[in-house]
Each structure stands twice: as C-alpha cells, then as structure tokens.
Structure 1
C-alpha cells in the first residue's frame, strides 16, 4: 500500500530535526453548499534541518519516530 503524501506550509522550525507543517484541505459543506477550508498541523522529521518557515513542502507518512512525529519531510515543493 502506498504511503500517504501531503502538501503543506512550514509554520515552525524551532525544534531540532522537526518542522510543523500546516496542511489545508477544501471541501463542499453538505448543507450550505459552500467551499470550506480546514487545516491541520503535522509534526514532521527533517533530518537536515533544511526547511524554513514559509516553505511549501511535501511530507510522507512513516513509522512513529516520537510521541508526535509520524511524518517525514520528503522535499521542498
């Protein structure tokens, strides 16, 4: 089964080898029929500390690395 990949924006790079990525999704509201935006933050492993705040990046699902980290940084988009 292929690993999930998400596109998002780095919102924090303070921690060592970790970035926080905000991923936004859009969907049509079932009653209002209006496009709604929802976002969620993911902690991702960044081995080289290469990503900076504001970068658009791809993250990939992986085995748990720590309590919160379940994603790894693949590349800058």
Structure 2
C-alpha cells in the first residue's frame, strides 16, 4: 500500500527533531454547499532540525516514531512558478 503524502505549513519547530505541520483541506458543507476549510496538525520527524516556522513542506506517512509522531518530512515545497532548469539537449539539424 502506498504511503500517504500531504503538503502543509510548519507552525512550530520548538521540539528537538520534530516539527508541527498544519495541513488544510477544503470540503463542501453537506447541507448548505459552501466550501469551508478544515485543518489538522501533524507531528513530523525532522532529523536535522532544518525546517522552521512558515516553511511549506511535504510530509510522508511512516512507522510510529513516538506516541504522536507517525510522519516524516520529505522536502520543502519550492514556491514560485518559474525556476531555472538546466537541460542537456542535443539538437541536431536535420538537413539533406
């Protein structure tokens, strides 16, 4: 079974090797139909203490590390739409 991956914002980094990540989702109200936001906090393992408050990170489900910690931080989500990507493209001219 594949591991779940969620994206959220770090809200606390005060504990050692642990960050608290707030994950928001949008759901439709069952009666009124309005889109409302629901959020949940997850404790995620951060081995090197490299993520701080405000970082948008991707967390992955893992085995239980402690009583409340069953997620690990995979990486930081890079904001912004454009990035410089170096590509190795060998373009050959097709000529006869």
Query: Which range, TM-score by smaller chain?
Result: over 0.9
Q: In the aligned structure 1, how far is the partner of 2:69 from the partner of 2:30?
A: 32
Specify which structure has the bigger relative contact order, considering alpha-carbon pairs within 8 angstroms and separated by 6 or more residues.
1
How many residue pairs end up in the alignment? Answer: 77
TM-score, normalising length: structure 1: 0.98
Q: Please show how residues 1-77 of structure 1 align to structure 2 within 5 Å.
A: 1-77=1-77
Structure (1/2) with the larger strand percentage? 1
Q: In the aligned structure 1, how far is the partner of 2:74 from the partner of 2:40?
A: 18
Q: In the aligned structure 1, how far is the partner of 2:45 from the partner of 2:7?
A: 15
Offset, 1:30? 1.1
- Contiguous gaps of at least 5 residues in structure 2: 78-96
Q: In the aligned structure 2, how far is the partner of 1:40 from the partner of 1:12?
A: 13
Moved segments of 4+, more than 6 Å: none
- Contiguous gaps of at least 5 residues in structure 1: none
TM-score, normalising length: structure 2: 0.79
Larger radius of gyration: 2
